[in-house]
Chain A
Amino acid sequence: SQKIEQNSEALNIQEGKTATLTCNYTNYSPAYLQWYRQDPGRGPVFLLLIRENEKEKRKERLKVTFDTTLKQSLFHITASQPADSATYLCALYTGGFKTIFGAGTRLFVKA
């Protein structure tokens, strides 16, 4: 069956370190992949999009990689801050207008 997996356990890191979140998928060949941030009780906010022909994308302290052979995307936050604490969702465009979201990974950055 088609599946998107993100670390179900929360990620706890110290301020200033790099946070790395993983998104693995099976049985898809997505044309692109998106990452969103979601704070408690609020709607997701778009962060980055990476296309199947791109290996890496950067935006300020954020970096996303996309390995279509491994069927994996990695999301990095460098020099993390307590304000980066949130749930991060990956989303795959699977064709036919459909985008599928993963369950998300909670990140806690300690001061």
Chain B
Amino acid sequence: EAEVAQSPRYKITEKSQAVAFWCDPISGHATLYWYRQILGQGPELLVQFQDESVVDDSQLPKDRFSAERLKGVDSTLKIQPAELGDSAMYLCASSPNTGARGTEAFFGQGTRLTVV
């Protein structure tokens, strides 16, 4: 069964350092999402791509976060510099572009980031 792949699974970094996360969506899925989930809260959308274009990055802290999906396939989310408050689970998800509203999102296992 096809899955969304994320790496690394766990990352510990010191504050002020740079950190990057990688996501490979399910093949053929045009829509890719990056979410941040703080313990005890629901996922919060950071950025959404349709193919290689950003369709929503209104919640992305652009002074330190960046995301790209250059060829419309895999994606990288970067934080520079990392702050203590960035400690969270970073989830990548993808959806097929069926043209119908309400398509489910398929999530990866996430990257657990700890900033020390």
Contacts and interface: CB of A to CB of B under 8 A. Distances in A.
Q: Is chain A's binding surface mostly helix, strand, loop or mixed?
A: strand
A104 B42 contact: yes
A89 B43 CA distance: 9
Nearest to A47: B104
A104 B93 CA distance: 18
Interface residues of A, number: 24
A103 B40 contact: yes
Given A43-B109, A103-B40, A98 B56 contact: yes
A32 B101 contact: yes
Contacts of B102: 31-32, 34, 49, 51, 93
B110 interface: yes
Interface string B8-41: 0000000000000000000000000001000011
B42 A101 contact: yes
Given A97-B55, A101-B44, A103-B42, A42 B109 contact: yes
A110 to B, nearest CB: 22
Given A97-B50, A103-B42, 4 more contacts: A44-B105, A46-B105, A93-B102, A101-B35
